[in-house]
Amino acid sequence: MTTEDFPAVRGSLEERAPFWRRRTGAVVASAALAAAVLGGVTGGVVGAMNASPVAQTPVSSQVAMNASSTVDVSGVAARVLPSVVQVNVVSAQGQGLGSGVVLSADGRILTNNHVVAGAQQVTVTLSDGRTVDATVVGADASSDLAVVQASGVSGLTPAKFGDSDQVKIGDEVVAIGSPEGLQGTVTSGIVSALDRTVTVPGTSTGRRGSSAVSYQAIQTDASINPGNSGGPLVDAAGEVVGINSAIYSPASDSGQAGSVGIGFAIPANQVRQIIDQLG
């Protein structure tokens, strides 16, 4: 497994602007991605590269929690994991993956637009290990949200969405997704800040560039990495309060990106305003 090279960040946070990266796991040729802006600060888009999809790992072995947590993380995971899928994409650039949230029993699934942008083929790996074909039925680059429809499925468990306006700094949260292809990974942390203005480059399909995407994000220190894009950030009740989409991740000397405990999610109430328009 290889990781895409990213522009390196030189100097400390105080000295230089941070890089902000989308949390997708695109499997394409190694290449630096475009710069972005977060609250007037330059940054870069996340797109960790894998030579091939990582073998699936039993979800029960992928739980990590804060030792001081008062939230029953295992209980939250048990409620939410059936509603989280892995989104697998084939595009002209190669293979990629992200995460998704089940919206309906018949397979309507929410993910990030940048996960499926330019997709020629989409499949979804369900929490029970089945992989089924899927199609993109609606996408909105301006909000970085998309809906895909899984084929021939029924009886899936829709996620429950909460009220992100009720989220407070210091609230404990849980992130679930497929970082680096490790499906069903569960991590926990807190809400570090609210209303962070995140701006990242628009997703290009190779035909033309697109406008930058901005949203007011929930900041969290729950560990998220490439492949978490489109997965849920949930509260102590197991309700989705955000869709994980970007992190701060300074590039190492090798150009590889990883979590440093500063992640961002599109608030659930922003998602509600768009989701019904996506199909």
> How far is CA 269 from each of CA 163, 177, 216, 217, 274, rounded to the nearest angstrom?
6, 20, 11, 11, 9
Rounded-to-integer distance, Cα 93 and Cα 45, Å: 16
Question: Is 168 exposed, middle or buried (CB count within 10 Å of its CB: 0-12, 13-18, 19+)?
Answer: exposed
Sequence-distant (6+) residues with CB within 8 A of 32 are 4, 5, 6, 7, 44, 255
Please identify every residue annotated as catalytic.
Answer: 114, 144, 229
CB 97 within 8 A of CB 88: yes
Give kind and range of the element (H or E) at residue 79.
Answer: helix 73-80
CB atoms within 10 A of CB 154: 9
